[in-house]
């Protein structure tokens, strides 16, 4: 198997030198085991947090160990009755070409007529995150104004589209004109390019003259500050991520306008999608219908080959992806 290990802990923005591609021979499978060839793997911003040696909701990666992350694979040899050859499986054993398993923490994909890669994106963790944040955390209501940051990404693009389906007026912020055009074509009401708009606070005030009811926070830093200034009274902020701060070497200070939380009586709630996984079947049923009816578009950006996985991961911090960033490992 080919695999990618954490070679060194990044300081600031990660570089290709933090990763190392190695090869290892796998033993033959034994009774009760099966061999999986990975077809797709996911790169996600949260992996940056696991590269730091600190206590968090998920343990840190160790130097010299193979990285982990969501993956879709196919069983190519089996001595396990529940995982016959040809089964498609999801696992957290990405960043490697093959692995042997006894079935623990491996899930067989349902036999549905949809590309399996979508189980790493719109039908998987990122899509579930968007839906959870809007429904269970922010309780978005019809007619409300929703603001989504990192809005062309895996979570953000789904949050924008679900926001429209829930009857909200949706304002999005993205880092390129191409992404902005794409979201407008999907029917998003106002899209701000935060890199070219000048003062984000003013751009947001122009896009949401009556204020924002719900902010789906993916970015942090200036985005949070601008959102606080433009929230309506009793607005809600679902704090999903703060990607602008993940590579900080010196912590970003909190916004200077936090007192807006008091004046506007805001409710701010962070969440981790895995704590809401009991709702996953409900989500997949809804999302399956939205995809089938064409109500949600599932955009992907695909890098090819395991050796490209570090570049795909680094690309998340440079805005190289539209929709879900994926690495295709094999046909
Ligand atoms: P994305 O697909 O959105 O990829 C990251 C995007 O973030 C980039 O494409 C880029 O787009 C934008 N970005 C990168 N750096 C900056 C910056 N400095 N300022 C503003 N935008 C930036 O990733 P995901 O959809 O997977 O994740 C989105 C957020 O959701 C992340 O913060 C992630 O940590 C969080 N998350 C949280 C979960 C939870 O359970 N709480 C679960 C899953 C994700 P652009 O070109 O627009 O700048």
> Model confidence over 277-325: pLDDT tens digits?
999 999 999 999 999 999 999 999 999 999 999 999 999 999 999 999 9
Q: How far is the CA of 111 from the centre of ligand 1 (A)?
A: 30
User: Is residue 65 domain-shared with residue 168, that is, in the same domain?
Assistant: no
Q: What is the pLDDT of residues 154-175, one digit of tens each?
A: 999 999 999 999 999 999 999 9
Query: Which atom of ligand 1 lies nearest, measured to the CA of 152?
Result: 47
Q: What is the pLDDT of residues 56-76, one digit of tens each?
A: 888 999 999 999 999 999 999
Say yes or no to pLDDT of 201 above 90: yes
User: Is residue 147 domain-shared with residue 259, that is, in the same domain?
Assistant: yes
Query: Which atom of ligand 1 lies nearest, measured to the CA of 151?
Result: 47
Q: pTM for the whole thing?
A: 0.98
pLDDT at site 296: 97
Which among 242, 259, 274 is the end of a domain?
274
**Least confident among 110-114, 122-126, 146-150, 283-287:** 110-114
Under DSSP, the state recorded for 152 is T
Q: What is the pLDDT of residues 205-241, one digit of tens each?
A: 999 999 999 999 999 999 999 999 999 999 999 999 9
d(CA 200, CA 226): 6
- Quickly count: other Cβ atoms within 10 Å of residue 44's Cβ: 22
User: Is residue 39 domain-shared with residue 51, that is, in the same domain?
Assistant: yes
The overall average pLDDT reported for the chain is 97
Instruction: Give the Å distances, CA to CA, from 312 to 44, 175, 207.
Output: 9, 17, 32
pLDDT at site 325: 98
User: Is residue 221 domain-shared with residue 309, that is, in the same domain?
Assistant: no
Structural domain span for residue 94: 2-121+298-328
Q: Provide the pLDDT confidence category of residue 112 given band limits of 50, 70 and 90.
A: confident
Q: Which of 241, 244, 60, 284 is nearest to 154 (CA)?
A: 241
131, 243, 320, best to mutate for ligand 1 pocket (most atoms within 8 Å of CB): 243
pLDDT at site 297: 97
d(CA 149, CA 162): 14
d(CA 227, CA 224): 5
d(CA 327, CA 103): 23
Q: How far is the CA of 71 from the centre of ligand 1 (A)?
A: 19
Q: How far is the CA of 88 from the centre of ligand 1 (A)?
A: 28
Q: Is residue 318 part of a domain?
A: yes
pLDDT at site 111: 83
Q: Residue 323's domain is classified under what CATH number?
A: 3.90.180.10
Order of strands, edge to edge, in the sheet holding 212-217? 190-193, 169-174, 145-148, 212-217, 231-239, 267-270
Q: How far is the CA of 240 from the centre of ligand 1 (A)?
A: 9
- Residue 240 near residue 272 (C-beta atoms within 8 A): no
- Residue 272 near residue 57 (C-beta atoms within 8 A): yes
ipTM: 0.99
Q: Provide the pLDDT confidence category of residue 98 given band limits of 50, 70 and 90.
A: very high
User: Is residue 71 domain-shared with residue 207, that is, in the same domain?
Assistant: no
């Amino acid at each position: 198997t080919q695999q990618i290990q954490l070679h060194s802990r990044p300081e600031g923005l990660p570089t290709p030198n933090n990763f190392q591609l190695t090869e290892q021979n796998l033993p033959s499978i034994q009774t009760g085991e099966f061999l999986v060839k990975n077809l797709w793997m996911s790169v996600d911003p949260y992996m940056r947090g696991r590269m730091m040696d600190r206590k968090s909701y998920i343990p840190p990666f160790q130097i010299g160990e193979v990285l982990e992350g969501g993956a879709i694979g196919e069983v190519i040899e089996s001595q396990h009755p529940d995982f016959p050859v040809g089964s498609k499986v999801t696992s957290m054993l990405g960043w490697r070409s093959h692995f042997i398993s006894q079935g623990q923490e491996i899930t067989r994909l349902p036999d549905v007529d949809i590309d399996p890669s979508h189980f790493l994106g719109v039908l998987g963790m990122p899509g579930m995150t968007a839906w959870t944040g809007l429904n269970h955390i922010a309780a978005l209501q019809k007619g409300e104004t929703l603001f989504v940051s990192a809005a062309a990404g895996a979570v953000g693009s789904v949050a924008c589209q679900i926001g429209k389906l829930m009857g909200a007026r949706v304002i999005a912020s993205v880092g390129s004109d191409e992404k902005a055009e794409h979201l407008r074509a999907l029917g998003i009401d106002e899209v701000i390019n935060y890199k070219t708009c000048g003062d984000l606070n003013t751009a947001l005030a122009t896009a949401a003259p009556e204020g924002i009811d719900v902010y789906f926070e993916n970015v942090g830093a200036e985005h949070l500050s601008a959102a606080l200034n433009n929230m309506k009274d009793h607005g809600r902020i679902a704090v999903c991520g703060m990607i602008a701060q993940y590579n900080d070497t010196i912590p970003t200070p909190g916004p200077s306008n936090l007192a807006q939380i008091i004046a506007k009586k805001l409710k701010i709630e962070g969440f981790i999608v895995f704590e809401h996984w009991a709702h996953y079947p409900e989500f997949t049923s809804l999302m399956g219908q939205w995809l089938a009816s064409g109500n949600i578009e599932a955009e992907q950006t695909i890098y090819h080959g395991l050796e490209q996985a570090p570049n795909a991961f680094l690309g998340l911090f440079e805005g190289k992806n539209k929709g879900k960033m994926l690495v295709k490992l094999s046909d």
